[in-house]
Amino acid sequence: MSLSPISLELTITLPTWLNKDNWSPSYPTDIEKMRLVIDLAQKNVLHETGGPFAAGVFTNSGELIAIGTNSVTRLNLAPLHAEIVAILFAQQRLNSYSFRSSGLPPCELFTSCEPCAMCLGAVLWSGFSRVACGATKQDAEGIGFKEGPVPTEIDGYMRGQGIEIIRELLRPEAIHVLETYRKKRGPIYNA
């Protein structure tokens, strides 16, 4: 095995097709927030820049802080699920490892599909006040993705940490993205 030298730096980019100019500075309703992330998930599929998933971090008043598209295959990095990417970019922008830091408004994660075991952990460590999901774990598993050992008592655990969970918001539209990916025979990178 011939390897490049060990690097001390790594850069994560968002896809080049992203056009920030198309984003509204504010997404007042849950439906508008979810519609944005589902639209980005669909574009991620059509541009073949990753799995059929996207996520966004918003303040509780609807300001868009950051978005993330699944970047596993594009950047060859397994941890780069949409939620992880959105969290990294949001925390970089707010310059804080916790959305519960003083001076910050409550922050919410909108994700086009229920988070896997890894992303649930990242949600916990990031201090969200609210998480809203489109497609379900079963929908993702239905096209071949794994979600990992998500504990059955997760909703109660999240509520105990002060995190409200909303499920199946615009689920049909979110499922449509998964179906598009299946029809295009997109790679199932964690099968």
**118 lines the binding site for its own copies (CB under 8 A):** yes
E strand map for 35-177: 54-59, 64-69, 107-113, 130-135, 164-166
Residue written as token pair 């959305």 = 99
3-state secondary structure of 34: helix
Give least dist CB 172 to its own copies, A: 27
Measuring CA to CA, how many Å separate 143 from each of 148, 178, 183?
15, 7, 10
**66 lines the binding site for its own copies (CB under 8 A):** yes
Burial class of residue 134 (count of CB atoms within 10 Å of its CB; 0-12, 13-18, 19+): buried
Q: Which of 142, 144, 127, 40 is nearest to 87 (CA)?
A: 127
The residue among 7 and 29 lying less far from its own copies, judged by its C-beta, is 7
Q: Which of 24, 31, 48, 151 binds its own copies (CB under 8 A)?
A: 151
Interface region with its own copies, contact rule CB under 8 A, candidates 34-42, 70-78, 136-144, 167-175: 70-78
Is 168 one of the catalytic residues?
Answer: no
Residues that bind its own copies (CB under 8 A): 1, 3-4, 6-14, 18, 20, 23, 59, 63-66, 72-73, 76-79, 84, 87-89, 91-98, 103-105, 116-122, 124-127, 146, 148-149, 151, 153-154, 157, 189-190
Catalytic residues, by residue number, are 83
